[in-house]
Amino acid sequence: MRNTAKSNPHPGQRVLVWDLPLRLFHWGLAIAFVTSWITAEAGIEWADAHLYSGYSVLGLVAFRLIWGIFGTHHARFRNFIRGPRALLAGLGQLVKKTAPAAPGHSAVGGWASVVLILLMLCQAASGLFITDDILFSGPYNSAVSSAVADSLGSFHNFNFNLLIVAVSAHLCVMLWYSIRKNHNLVAPMITGHARSTPEQGISSSEILRALICASVAAGLLGLLITLAPEPEYFF
């Protein structure tokens, strides 16, 4: 749900809008989500793979939260999280044929991205504490009571349904933009480029800064894994 224009009324020139770290996060999170879904459905023999895919989600989300503060212009939360008035206006623009003129997140796309990130965070974090009471428990299951673990397990299942709805809505909006507005939202998230004015682009992907942010996220994830007790298996 991003406003990089294929059919911009003011085509301009191809400029860099989405930095490489943000694009890697986007596709990495998509892969981690699908992997978590498949391994959850595949059975207990895939429990370890499911655990590590959940860790991947946590690491990716941690990076995105940091990058949302220190990243490039269009990646920063302060530049795309807008108020209720802008959000309502953006919802009204969805039904129109005109493509957005400015690159980056729209008000609707910005809030949709935040919701997806938070849902992913809640899903992965709650999975750390749950158990099936038979063969597997999450690494932090022993840190909470059985009642709390049961509540988090119910939440984990409910939140997954919310994620399916949110991801489905995200895909439908991308399809709607392509058909209704002749506006490709996928290609810019692959190439990083869209047609706009040079002032609305970014100069570089700030790879060194991204590596520092990724190192902090990896350190936080490593600390989370190190402090966790061994998962409990009941044979």
Whole-number average pLDDT of the chain:
89
pLDDT digits (tens, 9 = 90+) for 37-46: 999 999 888 9
For residue 184, tell me if it sits in a domain: no
Cβ 33 vs Cβ 57: under 8 Å: yes
Residue range of the domain that includes 41: 21-167+207-227
The H or E element containing residue 13 is: strand 13-16
For residue 141, tell me if it sits in a domain: yes
pLDDT digits (tens, 9 = 90+) for 7-30: 444 456 899 999 999 999 999 999
Q: pLDDT at residue 35 above 60?
A: yes
Q: pLDDT at residue 147 above 60?
A: yes
Whole-number pLDDT of residue 9: 44
Q: Work out the number of other CB atoms within 10 angstroms of the CB of residue 139.
A: 20
Q: pLDDT at residue 93 above 70?
A: yes
DSSP 50-85: HHHHHHHHHHHHHHHHHHHHHS-GGG-GGGT---HH
Confidence of residue 68 (pLDDT cuts 50, 70, 90): very high
For residue 99, tell me if it sits in a domain: yes
For residue 129, tell me if it sits in a domain: yes
2 three-class SS: strand
For residue 180, tell me if it sits in a domain: no
Q: pLDDT at residue 193 above 90?
A: yes
Q: Which residue has the higher pLDDT, 217 or 178?
A: 217
Report the domain count for the chain: 1
Whole-number pLDDT of residue 231: 54
Task: State what percent of residues in the chain have pLDDT above 70.
Answer: 92
For residue 103, tell me if it sits in a domain: yes
CA distance 119 to 122: 5
The backbone torsions φ and ψ at residue 16, rounded to the nearest 5 degrees and listed phi first, read -75, 125
For residue 69, tell me if it sits in a domain: yes
For residue 45, tell me if it sits in a domain: yes
Q: Which residue has the higher pLDDT, 102 or 234?
A: 102
